[in-house]
Every structure is written in structure tokens, then in C-alpha cells.
């Protein structure tokens, strides 16, 4: 930078000598060295000013964050150990295996024995429940309660980028980590929640916290996320969710989901065929 500025200064002085100002006895028509000072200062101010960074695209932030929760991947499977607690009631415990592709997922109950073999199938924006003994799958809503504070849609792979319009709502620091704060509004009536306020880590590009709201903006639940798992995808090691805690906004009821046995692999299309369930 110094050598460049020296060259610019020498060039300016050379021009001033070639075209002296009237005050220096050079006659009319010359701008002079002092006449070039404002121009030089303007150039220096432009060069030394910090660059103005454009705001990140909120929809891209959302899509990147989805990957760490199973969304948009060509094939992935994981296990969920779920525990729901509500005051003095006995905890509700379940174990499920989730298999997902880009636009579909199936969650199969492994435990307890009385629910073993039950499946939640999500294809696009539609969801069904099937279990041993049922004549045919039953259409259900992603908003229906699955267990405790976990809705059916909370169990499936996350595809917020497809289901919500995102807007930047500001920035915040969450437990020492800088975040973008996104406001999500549902694109259709088949989403799990009407509105979501979502904290996405600037550094790790994962969702750290969510507030789930009604269409009127009323707070229904909050959720926090931990990323202790890793997956290998396209030659990279990426974070993957290891724990999700969903809490009711008015009571102390909560549901904890622990994620394990995460593997990126091909999932047969038959897994998501409603006719074969």
C-alpha cells in the first residue's frame, strides 16, 4: 500500500510541476498541486474504507441449516431415543428409526413393543400413519402430537427451505455464538408450524434455537439443538443433530430426542411407497 501511495504522490507532484498554478507563477489554466489534494483525499478514503458486505440470502441459510437435520440429502438414516416428561406423569419413552431422502421420510417405531412396526410416512407435503393390524394407512397432519411436545412433523426430516419463506430479522449472540435470526412463514397449510423464529449459527450454519408460533404469532413451544454427530457427504465432514429438546411455552412439559447411528446411504424407493406399507 505504501509503495502504491508513494507512486500516486509522485505522479501528482509531476503533474503539478508540468502544470503550475497561477499562484506559483505558471500562468492560467493549471490546476496545481493544491488543486489536486481533494481528489487525492477522495481516492485515499475510497481505498481505505472497509468493504460493505451484502446481507446473506435467508433462503440459502435455511437450506444449509436443513442439511444438519436430515433435509435435502439423497439418503440418510438415524435412530431417535425419545423421552417425554410432563409433571408427575410417568415418562413416555420410544425408540424410532428414521430413513429419509430429499423429499420423503419414514419413521418406524422399534420400542415399546406395543407400538413396534408402526410407521409415519411423509412424502412431499402429505403424511400417513400405519401400524400392524390396520387395513390401510391413515392420513394424518404433521401438526398432530406424536409424543409429548413432539409433533409428527418434528420426527420427520427437516425441509424448512421448501416449506417456509425466510426473512432476516437481525443478529444475536446465543451462548457465545453469533447467529443470524430468521423469521419463517409457512408457504402452505401442511407445515408443522405456521411461524418459526430461527437462530442459525454464522460459523457452523446450523440451527441452534427455534420458537414455534401460531398464525397469530402466539408462542407455542421452544426448541434447542445440539450437533454432536458428524456425517460424510460430498467429500466433507458435516455436523448433524444429536439432541433436540422441545419445551411447552406455558408449562414445564418437555420432550428430549437423542439422535444416534447416523449413516448416509441409499434408501430403496419402496420404503416410501404407500401401496407397500
The DSSP element (H or E) to which 64 belongs, if any, is helix 58-67
What residue spans define the domains of the chain? 2-48, 58-276
* Nearest-angstrom CA–CA distance, 141 and 190: 7
Q: Domain 58-276 sits in which CATH superfamily? A: Lipoprotein localisation LolA/LolB/LppX (2.50.20.10)
pLDDT values of the chain reduced to their tens digit, one per residue, 277 residues: 444 445 444 554 455 445 554 444 444 444 555 556 656 566 655 556 555 567 899 999 999 999 999 998 999 999 999 999 999 999 999 999 999 998 899 999 999 999 999 999 999 889 999 999 898 999 999 999 999 999 999 998 899 999 999 999 999 999 999 999 999 999 999 999 999 999 999 999 999 999 999 999 999 999 999 999 999 988 999 999 999 999 999 999 999 999 999 999 999 999 999 888 7
* Residue of 44, 60, 67 whose CA lies nearest to 231: 67
User: In Å, how far from its chain's centre is CA 261?
Assistant: 22
* Residue of 230, 234, 211 whose CA lies nearest to 221: 211
Positive/negative CA dihedral, 183, 189, 192, 193:
positive
pTM for the whole thing?
Answer: 0.80
Classified as helix, coil or strand, 243 is: strand
CB 184, CB 160: distance < 8 Å = yes
Amino acid at each position: 500500500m505504501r509503495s502504491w501511495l508513494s507512486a500516486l504522490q509522485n505522479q501528482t507532484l509531476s503533474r503539478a510541476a508540468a502544470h503550475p498554478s497561477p499562484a506559483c507563477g505558471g500562468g492560467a489554466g493549471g490546476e496545481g498541486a493544491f488543486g489536486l489534494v481533494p481528489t487525492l483525499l477522495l481516492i485515499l478514503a475510497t481505498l481505505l474504507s472497509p468493504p460493505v458486505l451484502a446481507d446473506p440470502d435467508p433462503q440459502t441459510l435455511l437450506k444449509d441449516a436443513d442439511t444438519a437435520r436430515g433435509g435435502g440429502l439423497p439418503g440418510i438414516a438415524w435412530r431417535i431415543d425419545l423421552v417425554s416428561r410432563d409433571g408427575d406423569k410417568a415418562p413416555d419413552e420410544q425408540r424410532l428409526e428414521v430413513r429419509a431422502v430429499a423429499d420423503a421420510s419414514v419413521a418406524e417405531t422399534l420400542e415399546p413393543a406395543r407400538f413396534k412396526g408402526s410407521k409415519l410416512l411423509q412424502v412431499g407435503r402429505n403424511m400417513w400413519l400405519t401400524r400392524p393390524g390396520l387395513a390401510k394407512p391413515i392420513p394424518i397432519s404433521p401438526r398432530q402430537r406424536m409424543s409429548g411436545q413432539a409433533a409428527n412433523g418434528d420426527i420427520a426430516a427437516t425441509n424448512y427451505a421448501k416449506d417456509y419463506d425466510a426473512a432476516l430479522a437481525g443478529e444475536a449472540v446465543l451462548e457465545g455464538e453469533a447467529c443470524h435470526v430468521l423469521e419463517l412463514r409457512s408457504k402452505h397449510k401442511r407445515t408443522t408450524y405456521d411461524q418459526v423464529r430461527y437462530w442459525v449459527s454464522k460459523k457452523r450454519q446450523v440451527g441452534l434455537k427455534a420458537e414455534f408460533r401460531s398464525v397469530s404469532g402466539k408462542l407455542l413451544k421452544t426448541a434447542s439443538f445440539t450437533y454432536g454427530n458428524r456425517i460424510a457427504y460430498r467429500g466433507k465432514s458435516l455436523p448433524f443433530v444429536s439432541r433436540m429438546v422441545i419445551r411447552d411455552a406455558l408449562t414445564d412439559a418437555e420432550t428430549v430426542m437423542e439422535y444416534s447411528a447416523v449413516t448416509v446411504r441409499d434408501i430403496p424407493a419402496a420404503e416410501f411407497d404407500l401401496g407397500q406399507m
